[in-house]
Chains A and B, each alone.
Chain A
Amino acid sequence: DGGITQSPKYLFRKEGQNVTLSCEQNLNHDAMYWYRQDPGQGLRLIYYSQIVNDFQKGDIAEGYSVSREKKESFPLTVTSAQKNPTAFYLCASTVGGGSQPQHFGDGTRLSIL
């Protein structure tokens, strides 16, 4: 089945550690997105990528980094510079253009040890 796979489902980070969240899609979508969800705050855009080897900062990019070496993959690294990383992270993809709905993965819940 086509879809978006995020892994792991749960992740724990130690102080000063970088961690990477995986996002893979087999929908042949050009655009991919990373969102952060905190209780009561809805979803906020971290980074997005419209094509391979290109990505743009969203509203809350500080402390995060991404890469887009393959169309299918858009991993997110939460660096040690992100002082409050505890949140639910959602990856999404779409064919592109403002009219198309985004398809979401199941999310990764990141916590601090």
Chain B
Amino acid sequence: AQKVTQAQTEISVVEKEDVTLDCVYETRDTTYYLFWYKQPPSGELVFLIRRNSFDEQNEISGRYSWNFQKSTSSFNFTITASQVVDSAVYFCALSEARGGANNLFFGTGTRLTVIP
């Protein structure tokens, strides 16, 4: 069965601190996709990144970086030099490749508050 665990329910940091959001997943498939989404107070989910199971290369995009480790089934997200605008709920999600459907299994989210 598929499962995504985000053990950190809420995190508070002071502006300019670095913060890492943890994501651990479970799947029996060898081909799968991992995603991170941001949900600001306005409510819509904003896509941040997609990673497929064959690509363990870490990725950096500005202040954001992602560390994918298949050996520990983790896909962690780090924000460097956090800013108040980073305050949001962040979701990690898993999609499996079978069946043509793109059903996402979401974690319960981590609420990040950046204090000015």
Contact = CB atoms under 8 A, between A and B. Distances in A.
Nearest to B107: A42
A22 to B, nearest CB: 15
Interface in A70-104: 88, 90, 92, 94, 96-104
A40 B108 contact: yes
B103 A45 contact: yes
Contacts of B9: 40
Interface string B89-105: 00100011110111110
A41 interface: yes
Contacts of B44: 90, 104-107
Interface size grouping (class) on chain B: 20 to 34
B95 A42 contact: no
B72 interface: no
Interface in B17-55: 31-33, 35, 37, 42-47, 50, 52
Contacts of A106: 42-44
A50 B35 contact: no
Contact of B32 (A56, A92, A96, A98): A98
Q: Which residue among B91, B98, B106 has the maximum number of chain A CB atoms within 10 Å of its CB?
A: B106
B8 to A, nearest CB: 13
Contacts of B102: 31, 94, 96-100, 102
Interface of A: 31, 33, 40-45, 48, 50, 56, 58, 88, 90, 92, 94, 96-107, 109
